[in-house]
């Protein structure tokens, strides 16, 4: 009888140990995983039936994700959080009012994109995930304060998110990397004098919006913190990877970012309908790997990636999945 009690106690202790071992290991594994955040509201905004910035951009990404081993990464963000304060960190009241009055649905959807991005930051800062991809639309990196859309953009999600990180979580230095085919003129504009935000953009400066000259390096205290790299049509993988390795990486080592934001525009992929670069899906994996390595060194793996352009539906989805897969790669 005594031996039976001893065996029972041993078995109970073993079960107790195994329960907590697997519980904490599963939790630790969850923390390392990427999350893909979205919401069904992004299917509502339609500019016109044949417009390239369409709901199918998100639909194709989600359909492709469901076919991969990483389908469990998807999370629908359902939140009523108020983001007005944070939008006003970047956008003027008259711009917000004009959008509400004249583009009410687009404003609502763009506002929800901000909600998704800020929710993503919260999840990273709570260590629920080391990095996150926000499958949102419309894009944002052209949005100025003109009271209308600029290049399909209404609010600059990445700029708002940068301000949120700095003011809410007191992380000072933000690296924003924009690999969209089109220059992120709005992001440049809002941080052109700011030494706490390093903005790095690869693009075709002769495409819309006609900005992004390498001569524009920042102003005042922000001088040297705005890096524009013009790339010509037919740019191949090795060319942009070389630019990242030789220009971005040394500058990032000197800057030592506390958080990395990506304006992930996949219209720089080969065969995009609004771009002329020849970048492969694997190129975006390699660019993502470069940024992951920087995040490991300086900011505890913190990366939030936000969808910008990308208008070949199949190509955009394939490149996005390559990007997500590398974000989720533990190596």
pLDDT tens profile 61-77: 999 999 988 889 999 99
| Dist CA 54 CA 44 (whole Å) | 9
pLDDT at 3: 46
pLDDT at 33: 83
pLDDT at 309: 98
Ramachandran bin of 91, using left for φ above 0, alpha for ψ from -120 to 50, beta for the remaining angles: beta
pLDDT(10) > 80: no
pLDDT at 70: 84
pLDDT at 331: 63
Active site residue 142: yes
Residue 113 burial (CB count, 10 A)? 28
Q: Coil, strand, or helix at residue 113?
A: helix
Size of the chain, expressed as the number of residues it contains: 331
Sequence-ordered alpha helix ranges (H) in the chain: 2-32, 56-66, 84-87, 93-102, 104-125, 157-169, 185-191, 237-243, 249-255, 281-298, 313-328
Residue 147 burial (CB count, 10 A)? 16
Q: Give yes or no for a contact between 181 and 265, defined as CB atoms under 8 angstroms apart.
A: yes
pLDDT at 69: 84
pLDDT(168) > 70: yes
- DSSP β-ladder status, 303-307 and 259-264: parallel
pLDDT(312) > 50: yes
pLDDT at 7: 47
Q: Coil, strand, or helix at residue 38?
A: strand
| Dist CA 201 CA 223 (whole Å) | 15
Residue 19: CA atoms inside 13 Å, Cβ hemisphere, count?
6
- Among the listed residues 142, 157, 189, 323, the single catalytic one is 142
Q: How far is CA 228 from the centre of its chain?
A: 19
| Dist CA 189 CA 141 (whole Å) | 10
24-38 per-residue burial string, b: 16 or more CB within 10 A, e: under 16: eeeeeeeeebbbbbb
- 258 Cβ contact list (under 8 Å, min separation 6): 165, 171, 172, 173, 174, 298, 299, 302
| Nearest partner of 204 among 262, 272, 250, judged by Cα | 272
36-328 maps to which CATH number?
3.40.800.20
Q: What is the DSSP letter of 246?
A: I
Average pLDDT, the chain: 92
Q: Which residue has the higher pLDDT, 26 or 307?
A: 307
| Nearest partner of 158 among 203, 109, 191, judged by Cα | 191
Instruction: Give me the phi and psi of 131, to 5 degrees please.
Output: -150, 160
Residue 271 tokens, joined: 């065969």
Distances (CA, A) of 107 to 7, 101, 188, 324: 66, 9, 22, 27
pLDDT band at 13 (very low <50, low <70, confident <90, very high): very low
Residue 40 tokens, joined: 């069904």
Give me the mean pLDDT over the 307-331 stretch: 95
| Nearest partner of 113 among 144, 77, 66, 151, judged by Cα | 77
């Amino acid at each position: 009888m005594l031996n039976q009690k001893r065996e029972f106690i041993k078995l109970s202790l073993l079960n107790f140990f195994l329960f907590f071992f697997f519980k904490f290991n599963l939790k630790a594994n969850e923390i390392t995983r990427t999350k893909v955040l979205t919401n069904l509201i992004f299917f509502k905004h339609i500019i016109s039936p044949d417009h390239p910035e369409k709901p199918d951009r998100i639909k194709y990404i989600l359909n492709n994700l469901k076919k991969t081993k990483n389908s469990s990464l998807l999370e629908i963000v359902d939140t009523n959080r108020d983001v007005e304060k944070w939008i006003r960190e970047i956008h003027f009241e008259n711009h917000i009012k004009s959008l509400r009055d004249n583009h009410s649905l687009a404003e609502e959807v763009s506002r929800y994109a901000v909600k998704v991005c800020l929710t993503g930051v919260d999840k990273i800062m709570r260590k629920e995930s080391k990095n996150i991809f926000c499958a949102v639309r419309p894009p944002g990196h052209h949005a100025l304060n003109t009271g209308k859309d600029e290049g399909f953009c209404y609010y600059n999600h990445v700029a708002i998110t940068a301000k949120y990180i700095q003011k809410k979580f007191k992380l000072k230095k933000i690296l924003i990397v924009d690999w969209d085919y089109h220059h992120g003129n709005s992001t440049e504009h809002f941080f052109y004098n700011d030494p706490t935000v390093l903005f790095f953009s690869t693009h075709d400066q002769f495409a819309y919006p006609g900005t992004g000259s390498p001569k524009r390096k920042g102003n005042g205290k922000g001088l040297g913190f705005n890096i524009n790299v013009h790339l010509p049509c037919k740019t191949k993988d090795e060319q942009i990877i070389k630019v990242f390795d030789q220009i971005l990486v040394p500058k990032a080592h000197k800057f030592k970012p506390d958080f990395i934001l990506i304006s992930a525009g996949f219209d720089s992929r080969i065969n995009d309908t609004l771009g002329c670069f020849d970048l492969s899906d694997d190129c975006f994996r390699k660019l993502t790997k470069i940024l992951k390595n920087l995040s490991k060194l300086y900011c505890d793996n913190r990366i939030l990636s936000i969808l910008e352009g990308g208008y070949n539906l199949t190509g955009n989805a394939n490149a996005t999945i390559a990007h997500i897969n590398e974000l989720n790669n533990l190596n």
